[in-house]
Structure 1
């Protein structure tokens, strides 16, 4: 539908109007007019998408960051609608395309009578199921409804295994692949046949390595650094060699947009046969790769030359971040068989630190941490570890940033449109609001440019041991990064242009960027150009949805722990002092969001709270202040 929207924006040729059922519908509504031998929407008529959120119902127009409040009770979230713009507000004229109308519902017995309620809104729903049949189901049964009929029983709310199904179905995500997609993925076999690719550069003699989290299985990227010649090789899995445009695999990858990562599993964008095997840059396996060879200046690490080409590689070592951090902290005295790549790692790290220092003259380094949750056999929280950016993360990050930056520059040089990861500078009013609030916390705002102001505030926050929360406020004051077909720069990284090239196994955008760059390399026609606006809109929406799935699942397993620990005292910190007061747990279930009942609480105030109530449906944890047991951050 995004593709049709952008075609309509440019104008549909007269001869093509009969080919689209949506164009036919608009003709029947008499809302199209002819200009310059093309069909366009008449003035005051709008095509957009309904987005239903907790704050209300909105009309989202592709390419427009603003969402417009609209009355659309009869529409489902995600429906594409034809709208008429009135003097005050908007009126839905027709639904052109219904989104998946399945919804999650739960069964509750009210005075012994079974009732079905919407899982998110708790509204009573009409059901075509007989009361006698509903009485055979246990209280708290969760199921999918479609047009008042039960499509599937998912389980019961008291079973922790239901959480994954709830999070996925709330946002219409699925784990299983169709038979045609699986068949296509298996048709490539399990090994790379080198003889099929006579024109590729053979780099299997170079000792590439991968550096990833301990649980990773889909190895997108591998690196090798030739310290003698100061040449960095960034090899990326060549997914586009297997996933052809408009194939069953491509359509499924575009539909998913990204891989989803839950604490106990990943739901890949591509079938495991590709994502964890044939495309994954596994140790001691010949693999197809798309490689940037980057020659650096030894002194200042400036890029002197770069070259992009298709190759074979064979990774020699699978490092974890922990292992690389150990090498960087305590270099091995002797070159062991296990750590024969340690000298390369150490040499590359020095170069990447120079690159990083230069980049941060214009970009930003905000504090970040991530909760790594482990689940036990019963799908309940077993352990939570904090993962903070370390030297090994910085090494990999800077190498990948270089490859992404060079890819964006190549797109900009040779193509009228591309796919860029854009991050606009923050708006002045948002910055003024941030600074005004920080002044109430007794921070001094220097009279300098924004970059130096942020650096000064971060330095002050570190001294007051508030870097984490101040960084979050700074990030919150900025707009979100998004994918655009035209370059808009990247404020956070300090780059004039930027794209995503390094993760084609788990991001559809990277796969498309590979295709565009290969079109440049081979001087072939750019058929993908016509769809770039639609693709950007689709993946921007999918990115938000997939993030909500991951957050929702975390909230659910936190809530399930809290349900078993009613009355438990937690350490917490206030992250929003406005009602309802929002806190973040700093003990036991670190990172969990808490709704706190209390008076006169202030931002960044440390407080001890008692778990008072839990709503498993909404995945909310309610707490009250443990009287006499709180203090302030120094």
Structure 2
């Protein structure tokens, strides 16, 4: 019977016939570069049939070729072409190009040659790898570049170490980690040119348990201004420098004409931007007025105008690639790492007062019940009438007085946190802009209350720095009606964008927040049972379910800890093209539209709206791409893009949170030994974690410091309980603790009970006591001028 032909999808592999006898240099090079498997001395000898003395000669030949710069040796003593990549090697994922992960060799020692960038070809589960991961991969040349096929994801235990050089009394050098999750210091085997006290990057050497560190980069003084942000940037691999090509393209884009004749002209409207007093950019502005249409009695017309970033940042451009790689801006107390270069984020795409700006306008029709009954989207040109601080807008409404402008100078009222004089302006702005905005918002508020979204009171910390970068104070940012007003307008526009794209049959990058999983609900039920609170699992779980639970709890010590547990029950929000609704906001369709300066997801939504509404403007002349709509590749790969930008968002949130913790620790460092008012945030079998009321920063109280009594861990009740006394320490409990340690480098705190043995008598924590440390530690008293107020987001969070 005839043998069936081999399928074309699996061609027969042919083995290259090599001449017998001792190989030449060219023959060795040909074998090394074309071999499908790692080529060591044994494989080369076998390929050419070498034996005995010929193997010794081959060893000498390979050594000579390495000395001549022809060959290099990689893992498992396998050879590869100098300047190339071993067939199997360890790579670190460092970047995202569109939706393709980019990796570089973990070790690269070719002098004068940059490390190659390999495209990672993922198989199986998508999104399994992200920036910072280490992989063992099979590599191959493809065209003019290299590709990597992951074989195994490696542990992160051997990733680069970030820490501070310390010298012990015996002269030995150690690396103290900046990550508080790493409990042990590492001995330094090679310090290079670093010195004691330097913040450095180091690579681990040796094998467990004898790991040491070799310093590779010196980052400077860890207590200098901006060092805490620098630590987070390096630890999390956040790109913070734009390439020359990106900067040049930003200049080209910022010079594009506005095309006023082809945009809707809204410059006659008193549109205002309301932001934090310390906002780094202004990407949204709002306007409202009573609807004159008799068909909408008691209703309003409103406009949410957003910077038209899609006009300047076009698919396939260098700006677009860089924005996707970053995913979002990252906000630290002392600086911002923007998604876009400053020529755009702080200038042409920032809605400055009195200047013409390109905008994407969301026109809303709102009825007397606060329901949004209609919407449309246009490309517009606007001229913001004023940029206002939340506090000043609120004060003007409360007092119905002339409205002060934020950020000015003169003889007007003073904002206590910026200490800048804010000049009053005419009352016309109050009448024409703010009062209609507030009246329309009262309707939106009514509709929100009917929707009953999740209502957890989650305070946001802010760090106040002086002009030298020293800490003046750490406090909770006040929550005003002005914040809620802007948030509700933004939510209305986000919903309108999602529904508009659905109606146009366009792809949507949804902001998705799923309902809590059953496992989390079971844990919540068990937890509430310890407070004699019944929680039925058979009911349909809605945000109102949790709100009703909170309202039933009296204002007792238990309320904050129960709210904390409800928060932990919630799922993490993410981006994706498959709609699953937004549980927390009680919305069926939701997308981010309002911040394309600082979120790539919003930029994608803008591009989809441009395509859906036919809003493309004439192609710019020069080097920029013609189209500002979604590309065909983006159409096809929305799922993968959503995974990537969700990962980058989580990276940014972690970096921001850790940096705030470091500032809090620096602020508290001069108060070590004092008694603080604290609240327990978590309990484990080895102790409990607590945070300073009004300041934040988590610190451990080890169970070993609770006295001679034995404690057992109640996992269901999240509590430690004394065997003899019955003393319980539970999540949410308020108590006085002594601050035992505060480490600004890793943001770690340690507490102990006030009556811990061997300690002096109580000394109460005094927020006003001047500090004594330099750098980013607390300042010596309040300076004459406070530079700005930082927060975890730099702006009020707009969902």
Q: Shorter chain as normaliser: what TM range?
A: 0.7 to 0.9
Question: How far apart are 1:319 and its partner, in Å?
Answer: 1.3
Distance 1:426 1:94, change over 3 A: closer
After superposition, residues 115-514 of structure 1 pair within 5 angstroms as 115-116=174-175, 120=179, 121=182, 122=184, 124=186, 129=190, 133=192, 137-145=194-202, 150-157=215-222, 159=224, 161-189=226-254, 193-194=257-258, 196-229=259-292, 230-297=300-367, 299-332=368-401, 337-343=425-431, 344-362=433-451, 363-377=453-467, 379-415=469-505, 417-443=507-533, 445=535, 449-451=540-542, 452-461=544-553, 463-464=555-556, 468-514=560-606
Q: CA RMSD, aligned part only? A: 3.7
Aligned with residue 109 of structure 1, among 149, 164, 167: 167
- Whole-Å separation in 2 of the counterparts to 1:76 and 1:208: 41
Structure 2 residue aligned with 1:79: 134
Task: Mark the runs of 5 or more structure 2 residues left unpaired by the alignment.
Answer: 1-8, 11-32, 38-91, 95-121, 139-149, 206-213, 293-299, 405-423, 616-628, 707-727, 757-761, 764-799
Mapped contact 2:560–2:732 kept (Cα < 8 A): no
- Whole-Å separation in 2 of the counterparts to 1:334 and 1:175: 38
Higher mean displacement: 496-505 or 102-111: 102-111
Mapped contact 1:325–1:391 kept (Cα < 8 A): yes
Higher mean displacement: 461-470 or 493-502: 461-470
- Whole-Å separation in 1 of the counterparts to 2:131 and 2:268: 56
Distance 1:625 1:495, change over 3 A: same
Structure 2 residue aligned with 1:586: 693
Mapped contact 1:117–1:124 kept (Cα < 8 A): yes
Higher mean displacement: 213-222 or 142-151: 142-151
Aligned with residue 672 of structure 2, among 550, 563, 566: 566
Choose 1 or 2 for highest CA Rg.
2
Question: How far apart are 1:400 and its partner, in Å?
Answer: 0.6
Task: Mark the runs of 5 or more structure 1 residues left unpaired by the alignment.
Answer: 1-12, 15-24, 30-47, 51-59, 69-74, 84-91
Aligned with residue 538 of structure 1, among 644, 647, 666: 644
- Whole-Å separation in 1 of the counterparts to 2:609 and 2:124: 26
Question: How far apart are 1:511 and its partner, in Å?
Answer: 0.8
Mapped contact 2:511–2:582 kept (Cα < 8 A): yes
TM-score (norm 2): 0.63
- Whole-Å separation in 1 of the counterparts to 2:282 and 2:231: 29
- Whole-Å separation in 1 of the counterparts to 2:560 and 2:123: 35
Structure 2 residue aligned with 1:53: none
Mapped contact 2:364–2:372 kept (Cα < 8 A): yes
Q: Which structure is richer in relative contact order (CA contacts within 8 A, separation 6 or more)?
A: 2
Cα deviation per residue 1:404-452 (whole Å; 9 max; x = unaligned)? 0011112223346421000111112312321331232344547965344
Distance 1:161 1:202, change over 3 A: closer
Question: How far apart are 1:320 and its partner, in Å?
Answer: 1.1
- Whole-Å separation in 2 of the counterparts to 1:99 and 1:314: 53
Distance 1:595 1:308, change over 3 A: same
Q: Secondary structure at the match of 2:362?
A: strand
Aligned with residue 608 of structure 1, among 717, 736, 739: 736
Instruction: Give the count of matched residue pairs.
Output: 556
Question: How far apart are 1:378 and its partner, in Å?
Answer: 5.0
Higher mean displacement: 408-417 or 439-448: 439-448
Distance 1:546 1:283, change over 3 A: same
